Amino acid sequence: MFFYWLSKIIFGIFAKTCLRLRVEGRGNLPAQGAFILAANHASSLDPFVIIAAVNRYIRWLVIHEYYDQPYFRWFLKKMRFIRIENNLPKEAFRALKYGQVIGIFPEGRRCWDGKLGPARPGATVLAERTAVPVVPVVVLGSFQALPRTKKWIKFSPVTVRIGTPVFFSKAENPAHQDIEQDNTKKLMQRLAELMY
């Protein structure tokens, strides 16, 4: 935990001085209790500026391809981020049970053009099974600062915009097979609304 909060201070200094970080809607964040933070993913900067913007401890779900790389693994373990491969990890459910915050990028990977891409249902499935709210968050300007195709950061303004929490419940009719897709579409619509 100490390593996380120390890193948060460092991220905050960098984000405020180099990226002129602005945070909108911070009052929408639950002050306590579990929730899922679901964000767009336009840049490698996204998780770090969100950490700088949010005054809660976030346990990000990190795709195994990054988690298993030796030069990332040490840092990700120290931050207590959660490795994800094919299925939602049990550790994510346990974290929510104990009132922690799970961070997830529904798109799974960084986009190529700064726009929202196709989403996977992980965030809403996790929300359905745990009955915790999802807080939609968008990072604006991170694509301009560090797109997927670039290696060097351009010091341009970045804004983290936080939306109101939303609950995703299971369908009352068990025959409704598309509930996960419907809920995922609703979540992505929320993210799209926050971007404009």
Identity of the residue numbered 172: E
Inform me whether the pLDDT recorded for 172 exceeds 60: no
Inform me whether the pLDDT recorded for 131 exceeds 60: yes
What pLDDT is stored for residue 177 in this prediction?
56
Confidence of residue 24 (pLDDT cuts 50, 70, 90): very high
What pLDDT is stored for residue 196 in this prediction?
86
What separation in angstroms does the CA of 3 have from each of 57, 128, 160, 171, 183?
A: 11, 31, 23, 41, 35
Confidence of residue 173 (pLDDT cuts 50, 70, 90): low
The matching CATH number, chosen from 3.50.50.60, 3.40.1130.10, 2.40.50.140, 3.40.1170.10, for 2-194 is 3.40.1130.10
The domains of the chain are located at 2-194
At 74-93, the pLDDT tens digits run 999 999 999 999 899 999 99
Inform me whether the pLDDT recorded for 174 exceeds 70: no
Give the mean pLDDT of the chain. 94
Angle between helices 122-130 and 179-194 in degrees, nearest 10: 110
